[in-house]
Structure 1
């Protein structure tokens, strides 16, 4: 039975970093998956809520996006999170995944 057209099925050994930290107001626990998929953007998973997104340094300038994706009400908390990711995520060149 051919119900689905497979788009990709990749196997890859990846580097995963787990990091927990606190700010003045909040505790965070993240898993960061570094992969060659998704144009080289790391997959960032909030271990507390299960929310995830692909992030690169350019995304960190958009505080509204961080607030929306991680459901953060306070702008200061989102700014703190952006600062953490700016120091943590590598400035990776855009991957040539579809060459």
Structure 2
């Protein structure tokens, strides 16, 4: 077997917040991971849909980003976006 070639193999300290909330249209169960790894952005995992994205304020302002990243319709994405604005 050939030797594995790593592009990187780092261990970093993280702070993880687990939050669940019910919006008008959907339920959200999220794991929000904060570290120095992503230039101040958060790794936001939707535990119900198994989708995730690296999100900063610039991403929240990008039209269609949340909809695409999490497979949400406009109303659901707006609920998630409103919540994420509070933490990023």
Tell me the TM-score normalised to structure 2 length: 0.89
Q: Of Structure 1 and Structure 2, which has the larger fraction of its residues in helix? A: 1
Q: How many residues align?
A: 87
**Aligned structure 1 segments of 4 or more residues deviating by more than 6 angstroms:** none
Give per-residue Cα distances to partners, 1:39-63, cap 9 Å, x unaligned. 2211100011110110001110124
RMSD over equivalenced CA pairs, Å = 1.3
Deviation at 1:3, TM superposition (A): 4.3
- How far apart, in 2, do the equivalents of 1:3 and 1:88 lie? 38
Gaps (5+ residues) in structure 1? 90-99
More strand by share: 2
Deviations along 1:45-90, one digit per CA (max 9) or x if unpaired, are 00111101100011101241110110012x122112111100122x
The TM-score, its normalising length taken from structure 1, stands at 0.80
SS of 2:50 mapped into structure 1: coil
Structure 2 regions of 5+ residues with no counterpart? none
Contact 1:61/1:82, CA 8 A, preserved across alignment: no
- Hey, what's the Cα distance between the residues in 2 that align with 1:78 and 1:63? 11
